[in-house]
């Protein structure tokens, strides 16, 4: 069961059972963005509230609604905790860092990206061994990237 | 040859495969079936000894290849009781067969406001080609709904069919296993003056099929779900209908003559077989048909009825309220397909846990998203059986589901 234990770490199951920052935000002012995984039909909706302009603006709140598997739900839940309170620039850097941890090619990393501490999110590293599940892990992040682009 | 599970299994080399030292439990035949030795051998033997172009060249080897290709057509015609071998058209897959119907017959016969009737059971292959026609030329799509246990609700069928030009429906649901009453539906279509089109992709591999007894007009099915290779599919149609339909794809093989000014078409079936077809795959398909015929379609169906009954009872007994199996409970109207929800686990997580024990199932929407909406779920886990599956496979599935308890800590 070693492979499965790598995938289903306790912190991942915890976020799956008790997802953080679930719900909706009024839109506008929040930006609403939808993401889906055409393979399995999973759909999530992300609400993003940003305070200020440009890269220095602050991510003041993020909420997630929709359904998904343990990997997509826990990844999105941990992501909300990681980016709330960060600047937009820092959030974008975290997205790059996370996507590169998932082995996604073609990401142009920028100076300082390697120093970013993903904290609990490092637990999702085991997903890389299960290529089919990478799409699940990045679903929330792709949706956040879309919301940041439109904020 | 009487149906004997252990003998059948020995015919499938892949079933001897182990992953991590454990046997393979293949429960995804609704997706695609595994291949028996004689299909693999027939294709290899053909490639090593008889491969050549068909219908083009006059040397002896080409004649041999053409005979082999046409032998597959005869085998398929026999399997489904077509009245003429020429009524069997080879395509790329059943999806292409459905698109051929929509493009060729639909293109010639459907205009703005014309109604096509589908059901809530359909696979995307019997939905999207019609939606494409709707978007292009404004046809209307009507739907036959389901009963609570996943059978077609036929209480309002006459009204739904009233004035429709075509009724296209599955003979066996790839999600619920439901077996609609095909002959009755064909008759209802004809009573309404509509064409009867049957998506028999899931049906033909598992049941004795008689397209004439059905009274169908056009029937689509595929090789890869019935022990044959992928890359070749079939369309059967009544000859006068196929004869009247315009060609689908243009090119070599489908013409009678071509001049600078235009072309005339070859007779059916060549009219619908543009370009070099899947020659080697046809040879494999013929071997698959003969394999199924040797075992006997009625015996295969009986084996799957027994297995499906065992699976429904075993899973319900062992997991009670923790499992919801969708679709009819009566195996007389259900094939060997089990879509289910397990506790509140997401199907992706269920299939991941099952995969740890080499239990291969499909998790997702099964190319039937509208049906998922009707069932009120985003996706399901699906185990689908075939002639090489036994009660031991069902037990392995149940044991693997038990292990989900350990991992997710219920």
Contact B346 A41 (CB under 8 A): no
pLDDT band at B10 (very low <50, low <70, confident <90, very high): very high
pLDDT of B403 > 70? The answer is yes
In 3-state terms, what secondary structure has residue A151?
coil
pTM confidence score = 0.93
Closest chain B residue by Cα to residue A6:
B407
Q: Strands of A5-136 (E only): list them.
A: 31-37, 42-51, 58-67
Backbone angle region of A36, left / alpha / beta, with phi > 0 → left and psi within -120 to 50 → alpha: beta
Q: Which residues pair with A46 in a beta bridge?
A: A33, A64
Asked if B279 and B69 count as a contact pair (C-beta separation under 8 A), the reply is yes
Query: What gap in Å lies between CA B371 and CA B121, rounded to an integer?
Result: 6
C-alpha distances out from residue B218 to B87, B100, B170, B198, B259, Å: 10, 11, 12, 6, 32
Region B32-58: what's the mean pLDDT?
96
For A7, the closest of B352, B363, B365 (CB atoms) is B352
pLDDT score recorded for residue A115: 79
Residue A126: per-residue pLDDT: 86
Residue B21 contacts A where some CB pair is shorter than 8 Å: no
Phi, psi of B267 (to 5 degrees): -65, 160
Report residues of chain A scoring pLDDT below 70.
Answer: 1-2
Q: Which two structure tokens, joined as six digits, stand for B96? A: 């292409």
**pLDDT tens sequence across B268-301:** 999 999 999 999 999 999 999 999 999 999 999 9
DSSP letter at A124 equals G
Which pairing describes strands B166-170 and B115-119: parallel, antiparallel, or unpaired?
parallel
Predicted pLDDT at A2: 53
Distance between A135 CA and the closest CA of chain B, angstroms? 12
Residue B235 has pLDDT above 50, yes or no: yes
- When CB atoms are compared, the residue of B348, B407, B409 closest to A4 is B407
What residues of B act catalytically? 367
pLDDT at B20 over 80: yes
Q: Is B2 a residue whose pLDDT tops 70?
A: no
Percentages of chain A per state (helix, strand, coil), in multiples of 5: 50, 20, 30
User: What SS3 state is found at B380?
Assistant: strand
Query: B305 to chain A, minimum CA–CA distance in Å?
Result: 29
Q: Does B98 touch chain A (CB under 8 A)?
A: no
B118: contact with A, CB 8 A cutoff: no
* Cβ(B80)–Cβ(B219) below 8 Å: yes
Among A34, A40, A73, A133, the strongest candidate for a mutation testing the B interface, having the largest count of B CBs within 10 A, is A40
B261, B82 Cβ separation under 8 angstroms: no
Number of cross-chain residue pairs from A and B with Cβ atoms under 8 Å apart: 48
Q: Which of A69, A71, A75, A76 to mutate to test the interface with B (most CBs of B within 10 A)?
A: A69
Percent of chain B whose predicted confidence (pLDDT) is above 90: 95
Q: Is B367 an interface residue toward A (CB < 8 Å)? A: no
Q: Which residues of A touch B (CB under 8 A)?
A: 1, 3-4, 7-8, 13, 39-43, 67-71, 73, 130, 133, 136
The ipTM assigned to this model is: 0.83
Please answer yes or no on whether B352 and A13 come within 8 Å at the CB atom.
no
Residues of chain A neighbouring B378 (CB-CB closer than 8 A): 40-43, 67
Q: Which residues of A touch B372 (CB under 8 A)?
A: 41
Nearest chain A alpha carbon to B404: A4
CA angle B69, B43, B171 (to 5 degrees): 65
pLDDT on residue B175:
97
What contacts A81, CB < 8 A, 6 or more positions away? A20, A21, A120
Give tens-digit pLDDT for B120-140: 999 999 999 999 999 999 999
Residues of B in contact with A10 (CB under 8 A): none
Query: How far is A40 from B360, CA to CA, in rounded Å?
Result: 16
Question: Within its chain, how far is the Cα of A134 from the centroid?
Answer: 12
| Interface residue of B379, B380, B381 to substitute, partner A, most A CBs within 10 Å | B379
Question: Which residues of chain A have a CB within 8 Å of the CB of B402?
Answer: none
CB-CB under 8 Å, A70 with B349: yes
pLDDT tens digits for range B312-371: 999 999 999 999 999 999 999 999 999 999 998 999 999 999 999 999 999 989 999 999
Average pLDDT over residues B201-206: 98
Summary mean pLDDT of chain B: 96
3-state secondary structure B86-141: HHEEEECCHHHHHHHHHHHHHHHHCCCCCEEEEECCCCHHHCHHHHHHHHHHCCEE
CA atoms within 13 A on the CB side of B152: 24
Do residues A7 and B351 touch, judged by C-beta distance below 8 A?
A: no
The answer to whether the CB atoms of A68 and B346 lie below 8 A apart is yes
């Amino acid at each position: 069961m070693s492979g499965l234990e790598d995938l289903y770490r306790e912190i991942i199951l915890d976020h799956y059972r008790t997802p953080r920052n679930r719900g909706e935000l009024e839109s506008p002012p929040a930006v609403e963005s939808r993401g889906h995984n055409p393979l399995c039909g999973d759909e999530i909706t992300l609400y993003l509230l940003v305070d200020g302009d440009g890269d220095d603006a602050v991510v003041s709140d993020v909420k997630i609604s929709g359904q998904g598997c343990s990997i997509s739900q826990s990844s999105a839940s941990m992501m909300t905790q990681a980016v709330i309170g960060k600047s937009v620039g820092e959030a974008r850097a975290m997205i790059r860092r996370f996507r590169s941890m998932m082995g996604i090619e073609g990401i142009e990393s920028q100076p300082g990206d390697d120093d970013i501490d993903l904290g609990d999110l490092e637990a999702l590293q085991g997903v890389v061994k299960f290529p089919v599940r990478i799409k699940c892990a990045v679903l929330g992040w792709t949706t956040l990237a879309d919301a940041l682009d439109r904020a | 040859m009487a149906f004997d599970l252990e003998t059948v299994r020995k015919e499938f080399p892949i079933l001897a495969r182990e992953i991590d030292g454990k046997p393979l439990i293949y429960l995804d035949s609704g997706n695609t079936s595994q291949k028996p030795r004689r299909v693999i051998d027939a294709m290899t033997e053909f490639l090593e000894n008889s491969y050549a172009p068909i219908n083009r060249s006059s040397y002896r080897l080409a004649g041999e290849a053409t005979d082999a290709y046409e032998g597959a057509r005869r085998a398929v015609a026999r399997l489904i009781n077509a009245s003429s071998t020429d009524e069997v058209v080879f395509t790329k897959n059943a999806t292409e067969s459905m698109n051929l119907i929509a493009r060729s017959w639909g293109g010639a016969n459907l205009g703005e406001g014309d109604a096509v009737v589908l059901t809530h059971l359909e696979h995307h292959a019997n939905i999207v080609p019609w939606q494409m026609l709707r978007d292009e030329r404004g046809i209307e799509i009507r739907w036959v709904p389901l009963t609570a246990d996943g059978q077609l609700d036929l209480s309002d069928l006459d009204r739904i069919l009233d004035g429709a030009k075509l009724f296209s429906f599955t003979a066996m649901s790839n999600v619920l296993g439901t077996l609609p009453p095909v002959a009755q539906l064909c008759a209802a279509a004809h009573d309404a003056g509509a064409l009867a089109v049957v998506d028999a992709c899931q049906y033909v591999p598992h049941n004795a099929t008689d397209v004439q007894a059905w009274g169908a007009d056009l029937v689509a099915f595929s090789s890869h779900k019935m022990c044959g290779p992928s890359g070749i599919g079939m369309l059967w149609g009544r000859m006068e209908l196929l004869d009247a339909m315009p060609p689908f794809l243009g090119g070599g093989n489908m013409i009678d003559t071509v001049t600078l000014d235009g072309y005339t078409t070859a007779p059916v079936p060549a009219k619908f077989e543009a370009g070099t077809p899947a020659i080697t795959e046809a040879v494999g398909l013929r071997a698959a048909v003969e394999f199924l015929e040797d075992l006997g379609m009625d015996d295969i169906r009986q084996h799957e009825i027994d297995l499906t009954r065992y699976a429904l009872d075993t899973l319900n007994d062992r997991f009670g309220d923790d499992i919801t199996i969708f679709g009819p409970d009566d195996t007389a109207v259900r094939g060997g397909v089990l879509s289910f929800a397990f506790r509140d686990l997401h199907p992706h997580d269920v299939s991941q846990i099952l995969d740890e024990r080499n239990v291969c199932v499909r998790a997702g929407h099964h190319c039937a998203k509208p049906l998922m909406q009707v069932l009120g779920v985003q996706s399901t886990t699906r185990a689908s059986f075939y002639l090489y599956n036994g009660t031991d496979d069902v037990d392995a599935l149940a044991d693997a589901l038990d292990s989900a308890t350990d991992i997710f800590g219920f």
